[in-house]
Copies of this chain bind each other. A is one copy, B any other.
Amino acid sequence: MSGTNRTLNPILGGPTIILVEPQLGENIGATARAMLNFGLVDLRLVRPRDGWPNDRATSSASGAAQVMDAVQIFDTTAGAISDLNHVMAATARIRAITKDMMGPRQAAQDCRQRMAAGVKVGILFGPERAGLDNDDLALADTILTIATNPAFGSLNLGQSVLLVAYEWFVTGEAGVEPNPMDGAEDQATKEDLVAFFEALEKELDTGGFLKPPEKRPAMIRTLRNLFQKARLTDQEVRSLRGVVVALTRLRGPRR
């Protein structure tokens, strides 16, 4: 099924889709196909299990060359989102994370509003079985979750991307007003944000805060999540870097 007789303004573009450690080429191809059906074109892969290019992905993409030819490969999730300003993490898991949660419809509207204001948005999808890990979730601003029949929730990766892309397309047809609250912001890039995180964590290591070692990853996630929630601007990230410098300035020689 495809096509319509309606006059659309497809606005090819839309949010970036990032697949973290996708395992099956079929799912990568299905993702590309689902994306292009609904006007999304920017697909990035983090550590695809079977490398790249992938013949199975190509065949299951059903000719979505516009997406497949432009796929970018990254070693890390942080690298894959470094030029983006706002990241949603698609996950089914309920975890003790205090981020905003929304379904595909609300996420699509949120995306439209942000992108209309010049914010670069990406959506992370985890590996087929495990889903996104906590470190990847800590890089995200909001959680996207798809409600299903409580007795049978079995959406695969391609289907999840399809629903998200579909809602993106439908919101474009309906027209969404840019949110003036978002327009004024000059949101920091993820690259700047991660650089701040790393500077902070280095100083916290020096200060003996991130101990014992087995608790360090969770403590770092807590801090990263906390700052993600603030949707920091460029200027705010610079202020925070200044704060860290100021707080550590009067330290004596390292012990």
| A residues adjacent to B (C-beta < 8 A) | 1-6, 8, 10, 12, 33-34, 36-39, 62-64, 66, 90-92, 94, 97-103, 105-106, 125, 131, 145-155, 157, 159-160, 162-163, 166, 169-170, 173, 176-178, 180, 182-184, 186, 200, 203-204, 206-209, 219, 222-223, 226-227, 229-233, 235-236, 239-240, 242-252, 254-255
Contacts and interface: CB of A to CB of B under 8 A. Distances in A.
B177 A12 contact: no
Contact of A162 (B39, B105, B145, B159): B159
A58 B18 CA distance: 31
Contacts of A248: 207, 247-248, 250-251
Question: Most chain-B CB neighbours within 10 Å: which of A6, A105, A160, A226?
Answer: A226
Copies in the complex: 2
Contact of A178 (B38, B101, B150, B170): B101
Given A147-B173, A243-B209, A154 B62 contact: yes
Contacts of A183: 97-101
11 contacts: A2-B92, A37-B149, A63-B154, A66-B152, A98-B233, A105-B170, A106-B177, A147-B176, A204-B246, A207-B247, A247-B247
Given A147-B176, A204-B246, A222-B236, A152 B64 contact: yes
